[in-house]
Amino acid sequence: MTPALAIHAHVADRNVHLDLQVPQGEIIALLGANGAGKSTALALASGTLRPSTGTVDLSGRQVAGTGTWVPAHRRGISLLAQDPLLLPHLTVLDNVAFGPQSQGQGRARARAIAIDRLAELGIAELAARRSRQLSGGQQQRVALARALAPDPELLLLDEPLGALDVEAATQMRQALRTSLREAGRTAVVATHDLLDVLALASSVVVLAAGRVIESGPTMQVLTRPRSDFAARFAGVNMLPGTWRTGPAITVAQAVVIHGLADGDGVPGQPAAATFSPRAVAVHREAPGGSPRNAVAVQVAGIEQQGELVRVRGRTTSGLTLAADVTAPAVASLGLVVGDEVTFVIKAAEVSIYPA
């Protein structure tokens, strides 16, 4: 099947080189730190940025390339960002009808489409209001209805819940799930929120320095991350290394981490070990009895993490690990940033898999 979106493009002044495909009917989450290339990817797709070289295709139709340029309004794409950008002089109904009318639909037909989209999102009762009469959450749901009204081939979402409070974001997330995932629509979601990914995305693409560094089904990326960013995003520790029998992996400076095999690895081949910060204990001195997974670190940070305290440690090779321990444990150890400690990791809670 021809992908809904295919980007094979280079943007010279941003040092971005993207190879990205979005299958029809899929919702792809774009992840990455600020400056990783998420906004550039959306701009290339939407038509607000020309690539220096390469191509952008929508459903098999080239919209950007050498000698080819299709402007944004002719691409059949809708964009939903943090700011709903509703037209204040129009009612909600006319805001949503604006897209179909701009496509050439008559006023009555455009309004009928708008009513359907508002009803789909459960906000038909807002039709006669103006934007100043709406809460932030209501405005964003109206903006979603407006984005869906032209029946776009592809919907782009740029941090769509970033400006909402927790309650409004929860309601909006459910509206997105219903209108996108359950309806089989195609979308790309750039987000920093794990809940957005879990609720919406069928697959994840991780960007760093303008390149795709990891991609795959959502649960695969979150449970078996292969990049440091994906591991931190999923809330787990990840150590890259090489597979060895045991099962175990050898990481930097010959540190060996033992655990449980998740897949068949080949000795000497790339592998990774992941484990929860809650599987890590912190000791001032390496405990006796030669524990299987003991890693010397320097405390790089101490912060509250819900009911626990997260202690971040950095190895001499530059790897960063996190331990979630109780406040009394931190107090009894008298930890401060810069201390040399030992992280002890339960082997039974370490997952080792080919990378």
Model confidence over 41-66: pLDDT tens digits?
999 999 999 999 999 999 999 999 99
What integer is the mean pLDDT of 186-195?
95
Residue 291 pLDDT > 80: no
Q: Are 58 and 5 in contact (CB under 8 A)?
A: yes
Sequence spans of domains, the chain: 5-222, 237-354
What integer is the mean pLDDT of 305-324?
92
pLDDT for 253? 64
Alpha helices in the chain (DSSP H): 38-46, 92-102, 107-120, 136-148, 166-176, 194-200, 218-223, 228-234, 327-333
What integer is the mean pLDDT of 325-330?
94
* Percent with pLDDT over 90 in the chain: 86
Provide the token pair at 259. Answer: 């655990």
Name the amino acid, one letter, at 111.
Answer: R
Candidates 16, 20, 11, 158; CA nearest to 3 is 20
pTM for the full predicted model: 0.90
* Percent with pLDDT over 70 in the chain: 99
Residue 33 pLDDT > 70: yes
Instruction: Give me the CATH code for the 237-354 domain, please.
Output: 2.40.50.100
**What is the rounded CA–CA span in Å between residue 268 and residue 284?**
33
Render pLDDT for 120-175 as a digit per residue (tens, 0 to 9).
999 999 999 999 999 999 999 999 999 999 999 999 999 999 888 899 899 999 99
Residue 289 pLDDT > 80: no
Q: What's the chain's average pLDDT?
A: 93
pLDDT band at 288 (very low <50, low <70, confident <90, very high): confident
pLDDT for 290? 63
Q: Are 10 and 51 in contact (CB under 8 A)?
A: yes
Q: Are 235 and 280 in contact (CB under 8 A)?
A: no
Render pLDDT for 78-109 as a digit per residue (tens, 0 to 9).
999 989 999 999 999 999 999 999 999 999 99
Q: Which CATH architecture has domain 5-222?
A: 3-Layer(aba) Sandwich (3.40)
324 forms bridges with which residues in the sheet? 310
